[in-house]
Structures are given as C-alpha cells and as structure tokens.
Amino acid sequence: MQQTLVAKRILLGISGGIAAYKSADLVRRLKERGAQVRVILTGAAQQFITPLTLQAVSGNPVSTSMLDPAAEAAMGHIELAKWADLIVVAPASADIIAKLAHGMASDLLTTCVLASAAPVAVAPAMNQQMYNNIATQTNLATLKKHKFHIYGPGAGEQACGDVGYGRMLEPLELVTLIEQSIERPATATSRLTGLRFTITAGPTREALDPVRYLSNHSSGKMGFALAAAAAAMGADVTLISGPVQLATPAGVKRTDVISAQQMHEAALKAAVNSDIFIGCAAVADYRAAEVATSKLKKGSSEQLQLNLIKNPDIIAAVAGLTKQRPFTVGFAAETNDVLSYARKKLTSKKLDMICANDVSQPDAGFNSDQNAVTLLWQGGEQTLALQSKAALAESLITLISKQFSNKSTTSEANK
C-alpha cells in the first residue's frame, strides 16, 4: 500500500445517515495511506455508529459536542479547525449540506467548518428524491461556488428501496478523490487557467447481442487521474468516459459513452473546442458487423464465428482535423516492442506526443493504481518511472502543457 497521505491531517465529519457505517472503513483506508484522522460525529450520526468504533479505528478520541467542558476549556473546536489539512464530511446528509451552504454553526461539525481555513469536501448521501430536490441542488451549487469539493454521489439501489443518485461513494473512491484534493501547491491551482482539455478514458463496449459485448480490461484510472490533475491546475476539462466505476474528478465536466462510435462522435465534437486532446481510452479496434436483436444461443457447433468490422480511429481523426485542431496526445498500450510501436503510431497518426506503456507488467497499466510510461515527441522523449497514477498524471500534464506552449510559441514566431 503506497503511503500517499503521509502526515496529512484529515478531519472527518460524519452526519446522520445509514451510509455512516462506511465511514469506519474510510478511516481505515486513510490511515493505511499514512493520514492522521480525527473524527467529529453529529448527534444524528451517533444513532448509526458509535464514538467507540471510530476511536478504535482512528486511534484518536472522537469529538461529538460543542458543550464538552474538557475539550472547550482549551477551545477544542478552534484547535480542531486549525489542525486539519482537509475537512471531509462523509456522509453528508441533506440537512448538513443545507447548514453548510447557509453558514450555520449549530453544532461542532458546522462550527469547525466555519472556523477552518482548510479546504472542505462533502460526500452527499441521501434518498434519491431528496438529492434531486431543487433545494438540495441549490445548496450544492452554493457549496461549489464557495469552492467546496463535491464527492459524488453515486447511483444505485438505496436502503429505502429507491434506485437513483444519492448513494455515498465507496471508501476507496473517496480516498482517491481525497488524494487528488489535498494540499496542492497554490501555484499549481492556476497555472493552466484558460487552457481547455478533452481527455478520453476507460474501455468501450461493442455489443454482440443484448447480453454480450466485446471489451477490454481498462479501468479508466489513468484517464481520470489526468483529468483530475489538469483540473487541479486550473484547466477547463472535459472527460469522455467509457463504462467505468469511478467518481468524476472535482471540477471536471463528464460525458459518458459506451461504444467506440459514441466516443468518436463525442470526441470530435469536443476536440474542436479544445486546446489539448489526450486520447487515453482503450478503444475497441473492432465491432460486430451486425448486432443480434436477441441473445445468441449456444448451438451444437464447437465454434462460433463473428463478423467484425473496424471501428473509427478516434485519435487519428482528431489529429487529422484541418480546422480547430487541438494539440493531440495519444496512448500506446502495448505488450511487446513498446517503444517501437509507439514511435510508429506517433508518426502514422500524426500525433504531437504519445505515451507508451507496457500493460503486460503486473504492477502497472490496466486495473493497477500505478503506472510507468515513456512520453515521446518529435525530437524528444522522457521516461517516467513506476509511481501512482495520480502522481504520474501531474507529471504528464506538466510535460504535455509545456510542449503545447513550446509549439504555440514556435507557431506564433513563424507567422
């Protein structure tokens, strides 16, 4: 387990809701990564999870009340507010979101948020109708305006039996978002302001019948990390994602697609309004010539023949634009002769840069939280050693934006 949050101080606020049972695991996951965690439980939260449980997993006393004489003798709520590098409210009920949006200080948690200079993130968790209510949406919009991070929510079946958006994200999803949010240098949050990125991520699925499809092992983690890094540096980011189980990075506009043809259409539409296009998605090369309208049945034959046709080459199509062409960066996920194949793609597809990575390595590439790549461009290359995808993404975005700037400067000089 990589210690990505060593010595980071995270104040976790838990409000009332059934999702509070997940918060103990969230604390454990944060501590695995080296974070120091302090917990505040609201009165309602204590109906779902006990202070003793959170004390056991965090290793620290749990705070529950503004009216604790021992803690407040030393202005405990102010000390907690000053201690935190990041405040995370998970789960964040509709009630606590409303209080935070209106600057209330009616309990220890809301008071600490008001008294802290640390960034604040909320992970909404509530019934789908409550989440979709105009009041909740207005309150969330207010929090976004005030620079709160909004983590989720996810969609699915809820404890009440409803289905829809309102589920708190899973602990590991929240940890990823916390890693992306915490303590970014002030210079990093604005250095790409004004630049427009479009990034594709994840796999595509090519239907064979209503049940089966062709796909690959891409998790989307690298593309999502790139989107998060670019947004954190101030860029305007559009993320076009195939089917993945990942939360949308803070500040990123997301378009979900399924097939290569859908991604092709969305990519070309977004590319002409972008400065930089990064094709990180693992797009299926082929699709079924005809999709069966009913489930294909197992016959007596030992073989099944499929007639496949080529999908559009998205990255080549973007690089081939004659008007409003963005600076175009591709990915070459290979299992052998990685750099050789990548150099050929760089030239044949007329890319500005390409990231070559060996997906045959068990600790890198698909489904891994780590990756290693060699970034190639005409006249240069740079190898980035194995590291977390979040850290790698920051380095890649920095290098890509630098090459984009160099090319733009050269183009202006040649006019």
Catalytic (active-site) positions:
160
pTM of the entire predicted model: 0.63
Q: Do 198 and 277 contact (CB within 8 A), yes or no?
A: yes
Domain 9-181 has CATH 3.40.50.1950: yes
How crowded is the C-beta side of 106, counted as CA atoms within 13 Å? Answer: 12
Listed in sequence order, the DSSP H helices in 21-146 are 23-32, 51-58, 69-72, 76-83, 94-101, 108-115, 128-132, 134-145
Lowest-confidence segment of 11-20, 74-83, 178-187, 193-202 by average pLDDT: 178-187
Residue 365: per-residue pLDDT:
62
Determine if residue 68 is labeled as part of a ligand binding site. Answer: no
Residue in 314, 87, 357 with CA at minimum distance from that of residue 221 = 357
**295 belongs to an annotated ligand binding site:** yes
Domains 9-181 and 189-293+305-414 belong to one CATH topology: yes
What per-residue confidence (pLDDT) applies to 392? 86
Residue reference for tokens 């700037």: 405
Token duo for residue 173: 């999803």
Q: Which of 13-27, 94-108, 137-151, 317-331 has the lowest mean pLDDT?
A: 137-151
Nearest Cα neighbor of 26 from 224, 129, 177, 183 is 177
To the nearest whole percent, how much of the chain has pLDDT over 70?
92
279 annotated ligand-binding residue: yes
Residue 389 labelled as part of a binding site:
no
Pick the CATH number of 189-293+305-414 from 3.30.1180.10, 3.40.50.10300, 3.40.50.1820, 3.40.50.1700: 3.40.50.10300
**Which has the minimum average pLDDT: 45-49, 130-134, 199-203, 332-336?**
332-336
The residues, ordered by sequence, that sit 6+ positions from 193 with a Cβ below 8 Å of its Cβ are 234, 235
Question: Residue range 167-176: average pLDDT?
Answer: 87
Q: What percent of the chain has pLDDT over 90?
A: 53
Q: What values do phi and psi take at 392, rounded to 5?
A: -60, -40
240 has which bridge partners? 200, 255
Q: Is 280 annotated as a binding residue?
A: yes
* 314 assigned binding-site residue: yes
User: Where along the chain do its domains lie?
Assistant: 9-181, 189-293+305-414
Is 91 strand, coil or helix? strand
Q: Tokens 């089917």 appear where?
A: 243
What is the token pair recorded at 54?
């959170």
Query: Residue 242 — very low, low, confident or very high, per pLDDT cuts 50/70/90?
Result: very high
Tokens at 210, concatenated: 């209503």
Please give the average per-residue pLDDT across 256-269, as a whole number.
Answer: 96
What are the structure tokens assigned to 400, written together? 């890509």
Annotated binding-site residue? 315: yes
- The confidence score (pLDDT) of residue 363 equals 65
Give Rg (Cα) of the chain. Answer: 24
What does the DSSP 8-state code read for residue 186? G
Q: What is the pLDDT of residue 144?
A: 85
Predicted confidence band at 410 (pLDDT cuts at 50, 70, 90)? low
| Amino acid 73: pLDDT | 41
Q: In the block, which residue shows the tokens 């992306």?
A: 180
